[in-house]
Structure 1
């Protein structure tokens, strides 16, 4: 019975993904919109993201929610751009609620994609190297990995979600750790995002990018040193 349910889940998820891919290639308006979304994220300008969301009028919040899920699945698009835009459009605390709930939904989707479709699908949507780095975190910290990584802004939110789905960790534990760990960063980004305008926006965005790159270098060096120590201990 369990095996049959797993097969049905896998078939259902494949059908959904297949329908999305077919829509992209078969429906011109869908393809244009998706390409616009990728271009928007690639710009690195939260103002562009804000204008795109605002253009949907009364549906702006719903579009932002869907964009957060989309960027989670299509890792590693920058989620902080959406958080900044939400705060600027809806006010910092309303934007924080929207960003937090939509990020939770995106994390759940990534978790179940990995849990149902397995490692090959997760690697295609992210990267083999990135997942290996998350595996290292799980080997070292176990179930505490999700909470620890959510509190570290330089660790990919989406990679952790996919990585957790490949472990034996229960969804409940994953969801709770994600909710607690993601809340501080969401509040800070939303508060800052609510005040961003003009030159300040560019300055803060530049600082975030610099911080992220510096943190990635430190993390990569740390993993390299740990691997070298393991080799030396053999």
Structure 2
């Protein structure tokens, strides 16, 4: 799957007609569980398949539904398995107390600012003390700007000549968010490490 690009994926899905549209929507759903293809590629392909704003809507709705589905499944059926997988990532465990008391804030912020990969948030939150309501609301709020950003980047990568100014601005925003996410990750975890000593 590593060789996929926005145009190749879109062309491939188009050959399947209406079923290609269904597959494109399902890929946005599946990405929340297992990142087979970078979300920006899936998002861009769906924008080409469905049109700009309908594609953004499909990406947003399916990513939110996928996140909620994997959260519910993992919390109810795979909790012990996931806990064993995450034991080696001590920094994820440091989020537990924060998630219990400020789950909505940290889920929403982590969606907008890439402190952790989106699929990692879904899996990790399922074994933490975050309230289900906080996870759902945080995902609904936090996914919107992220999906908008990645959908437009995926679209503009293919239409570079027509949208290069906007693409450079969006890429600049994305890089800034990555830097802020790195700073937040260091700050949050360093603070937790101090308080746990």
TM-score above 0.5: yes
Superposed displacement of residue 213, structure 1:
6.9
Which residue of the partner structure matches residue 155 of structure 2?
194
Indicate if the aligned counterparts of 1:45 and 1:81 stay in contact, CA closer than 8 A: yes
2:142 maps to which of 181, 205, 209 = 181
Change (3 A) 1:181 1:55: same
Superposed displacement of residue 91, structure 1:
1.6
Matched, 1:101 2:82: no
**Cα distance in 1 between the residues matched to 2:112 and 2:155:** 21
**Cα distance in 2 between the residues matched to 1:166 and 1:77:** 25
Change (3 A) 1:214 1:169: closer
Task: List runs of 5+ in structure 2 lacking aligned partners.
Answer: none
Which residue of the partner structure matches residue 28 of structure 2?
68
Which residue of the partner structure matches residue 47 of structure 2?
87
TM-score (norm 1): 0.63
Spell out, residue by residue over 1:47-89, the C-alpha distance to the aligned partner (whole angstroms, 9 max, x if none).
Answer: 2322232232111221112212322222475222211111122
Task: List runs of 5+ in structure 1 lacking aligned partners.
Answer: 1-38
TM-score (norm 2): 0.73
Superposed displacement of residue 96, structure 1:
0.8
Superposed displacement of residue 199, structure 1:
5.5
**Cα distance in 2 between the residues matched to 1:228 and 1:170:** 23
**Cα distance in 2 between the residues matched to 1:219 and 1:89:** 36
Which residue of the partner structure matches residue 14 of structure 1?
none
Spell out, residue by residue over 1:197-219, the C-alpha distance to the aligned partner (whole angstroms, 9 max, x if none).
Answer: 26669986xx58x9387567546
Which residue of the partner structure matches residue 57 of structure 1?
17
Q: Kindly indicate which of the two structures has a greater share of residues assigned to helix.
A: 1
Change (3 A) 1:134 1:54: farther
Superposed displacement of residue 192, structure 1:
3.6
Match of 2:156, SS? coil
**Cα distance in 1 between the residues matched to 2:19 and 2:10:** 13
Change (3 A) 1:172 1:224: closer
Query: How many residues get paired?
Result: 186
Which residue of the partner structure matches residue 26 of structure 1?
none
2:97 maps to which of 131, 135, 139 = 139
Match of 1:169, SS? coil
User: How much is the aligned-residue C-alpha RMSD, in angstroms?
Assistant: 3.3
Superposed displacement of residue 224, structure 1:
6.4
Alignment of 1:104-143 (within 5 A): 104-116=64-76, 117-121=78-82, 124=85, 128-129=87-88, 132-140=90-98, 142-143=102-103
